[in-house]
Structures are given as C-alpha cells and as structure tokens.
Amino acid sequence: MADPTEVDTTLVQALVERVHRLYGPTPSDLERMCWTVVHDHHHGAMPTEYDIREVDEDLYLAVLNACRQS
C-alpha cells in the first residue's frame, strides 16, 4: 500500500466536499458514503447495489479521514 501522504490533497478535498454536498454534513453511514464517492471518481459511475469493483484504498481512507475531521 502506498503512503497516504502521497494522495492528492486537492482531490481529497474535492471528494470530501462532494460527500457533504450529496449526503449532508453528517452522513449516517460515513464509510459507505465516502466509498460511493470514491467509486464514482474512480469508475465514472455511482456503484450499483452489488457493485464490488475495487477503488483506490489510499484515496478512500484519505477521504474518510478528512470527512471525520471536518
């Protein structure tokens, strides 16, 4: 796994803003909401109910941590 400090902070902030725009300031299932936004960024579409495609784990964790801090 790559060093999380290598994740583009501008991208992380944009995705955090998207999480808040789509799901409000305090989503009830933050992990899932962050994952769906990262999935959309990575694959170009929101996931379907049974979509199990991989996402960039470092980016997901960076977005999740940033959402928790904001």
Express each pLDDT in 39-66 by its tens digit.
999 999 999 888 888 899 999 999 999 9
Q: Rounded to the nearest 10 degrees, how much is the dihedral formed by the CA atoms of 39, 47, 40, 59?
A: -10
Token readout for 63 is 């977005």
Q: What would the pLDDT profile of 4-41 be if each residue is shown by its tens digit?
A: 458 899 999 999 999 999 999 888 899 999 999 999 99
Q: Provide the 3-class DSSP secondary structure of residue 60.
A: helix
Q: Tokens at residue 13, please?
A: 């902030």
Alpha helices in 1-70 (DSSP H): 9-23, 30-43, 57-69
pTM of the full structure? 0.86
